């Protein structure tokens, strides 16, 4: 099945489901109209009975009509029970979503090469709504995969060239690329790119070479180009470690590394923030990525210590790596994946 044949099939499906949606819409409309008419008749009859009762009070000599001469309104016209009407509404909504997805897919297939964003947007809805058409879905997935691969090759080449023009070497293949310790994750379906230091998110950008290059430069500046005083930093980390152990009433020398990071962040805030007014505008950012960079720089590489207290890091066990509250990825090599998770921090007196 070619791209044009796939487009024709989707257009046929769209026409079929449009007719089904119209049938349900007309039925719901007629049911509502019938309900409204029944309600009006009931209200009108209630007013007649009330007015006639008042009339008899004004003219007591009148003989009331026999009940048989003033019957209740005839039984309401046949209506679907509420449960069935709810199912009609649910099916109408389902067809609305399906038709929107088919229209999006049709728009994506009308151009060469196919629009990856539109095809991706429609994909999940089509899979949920059309499980009985496996051949169609398989061909749809094939067209989308090829379009994504073609776009990856084209965009990846453009992105590498944009970085090279600035003297930077971008490695890897879309959607996963990297430059030094920074990873660049491309999402063609959402037309976006995420920038990570190691495994920590540090920025995002539109899916253009210029925007990604700018986002990378900003992230690199924020993480790796700061002028941090190592001696002051290790002192503050030591104090953070002591506070965490005190709060946890722990006799163990090791404390949760992430908890120490949180406490260290608080120590970096101004007195105005801590004592007077903890407003967002007064808060000094200190990201997980920046802390991870500092841990590697000051503890693993420079091996700084506070007085005779030497910091030690304990690697995380596998179960701790699933939660950002129990571990932190520390990059120690020259690529984002070159490092390990750490969970605990301890300070011990040197010999």
**C-beta separation of 205 from 192 below 8 A:** yes
DSSP 175: T
**pLDDT tier for residue 69 given thresholds of 50, 70 and 90:** very low
Query: What distance in Å separates the CA atoms of residue 97 and residue 122, rounded to the nearest whole number?
Result: 10
**C-beta separation of 315 from 254 below 8 A:** no
* Mean pLDDT within 64-91: 64
Task: Kindly report whether the global pTM for this prediction surpasses the value 0.85.
Answer: no
* Mean pLDDT within 113-141: 92
pLDDT above 70 (res 42) = yes
Taking the CA atoms of residue 205, residue 209, residue 215 and residue 221 in that order, the dihedral angle to the nearest 10 degrees is 170
Q: Summarize pLDDT for 164-194 with one digit per residue, the tens.
A: 999 999 999 999 999 999 999 999 988 899 9
Q: Summarize pLDDT for 280-303 with one digit per residue, the tens.
A: 877 889 999 999 999 999 999 999
Whose CA is closest to 182, among 167, 166, 198?
A: 198
**C-beta separation of 214 from 201 below 8 A:** no
pLDDT above 70 (res 263) = yes
Query: What distance in Å separates the CA atoms of residue 84 and residue 308, rounded to the nearest whole number?
Result: 77
The runs of H, that is alpha helices, within the chain are: 3-58, 82-109, 116-129, 134-164, 209-224, 230-247, 257-267, 271, 288-294
Specify the pLDDT at position 80.
60
Percentage, residues of the chain above pLDDT 70: 94
* Mean pLDDT within 256-284: 85
**pLDDT tier for residue 65 given thresholds of 50, 70 and 90:** low
Query: What distance in Å separates the CA atoms of residue 118 and residue 108, rounded to the nearest whole number?
Result: 5
Q: How many CA atoms lie within 13 A of 172 on its CB side?
A: 19
Query: What distance in Å separates the CA atoms of residue 7 and residue 19, rounded to the nearest whole number?
Result: 19
| Buried b or exposed e, range 52-63, using 16+ CB within 10 angstroms | eeeeeeeeeeee
Mean pLDDT of the residues in the chain: 89
Among 52-66, 127-141, 233-247, 257-271, name the one with the lowest average pLDDT: 52-66
Q: Both tokens of residue 16?
A: 């079929």
**C-beta separation of 148 from 305 below 8 A:** no
Q: Summarize pLDDT for 309-344 with one digit per residue, the tens.
A: 999 999 999 999 999 999 999 999 999 999 999 999
């Amino acid at each position: 099945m070619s791209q044009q044949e796939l487009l024709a099939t989707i257009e046929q499906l769209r026409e079929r489901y449009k007719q089904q949606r119209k049938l349900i819409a007309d039925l719901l409309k007629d049911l509502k109209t019938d309900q409204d008419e029944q309600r009006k008749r009931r209200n009108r009859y209630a007013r007649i009975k009330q007015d006639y009762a008042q009339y008899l009070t004004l003219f007591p000599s009148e003989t009331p009509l026999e009940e048989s001469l003033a019957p209740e309104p005839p039984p309401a016209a046949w209506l679907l029970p509420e449960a069935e009407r709810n199912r009609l509404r649910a099916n109408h909504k389902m067809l609305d979503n399906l038709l929107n997805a088919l229209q999006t897919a049709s728009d994506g297939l009308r151009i060469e090469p196919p629009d990856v964003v539109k095809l991706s947007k429609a994909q999940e809805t089509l899979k949920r709504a059309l499980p009985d058409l496996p051949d169609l879905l398989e061909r749809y997935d094939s067209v989308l995969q090829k379009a994504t691969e073609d776009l990856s090759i084209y965009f990846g080449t453009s992105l590498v060239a944009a970085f090279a023009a600035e003297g930077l070497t971008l490695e890897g293949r879309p959607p996963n690329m990297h430059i030094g310790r920074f990873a660049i994750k491309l999402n063609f379906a959402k037309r976006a790119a995420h920038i990570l230091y190691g495994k920590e998110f540090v920025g995002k950008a539109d899916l253009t070479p210029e925007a990604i290059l700018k986002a990378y430069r900003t992230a690199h500046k924020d993480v790796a180009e700061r002028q941090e005083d190592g001696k002051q930093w290790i002192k503050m980390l030591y104090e953070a470690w002591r506070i965490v152990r005190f709060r946890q009433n722990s006799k163990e020398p090791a404390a949760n590394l992430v908890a120490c990071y949180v406490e260290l962040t608080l120590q970096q805030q101004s007195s105005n923030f801590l004592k007077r007014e903890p407003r967002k505008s007064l808060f000094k950012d200190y990201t997980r990525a920046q802390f991870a960079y500092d841990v590697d720089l000051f503890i693993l590489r420079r091996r700084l210590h506070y007085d005779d207290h030497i910091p030690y890091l304990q690697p995380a066990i596998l179960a701790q790596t699933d939660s950002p509250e129990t571990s932190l990825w520390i990059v120690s090599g020259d690529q984002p994946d070159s490092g390990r998770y750490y969970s605990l921090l301890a300070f011990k007196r040197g010999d």
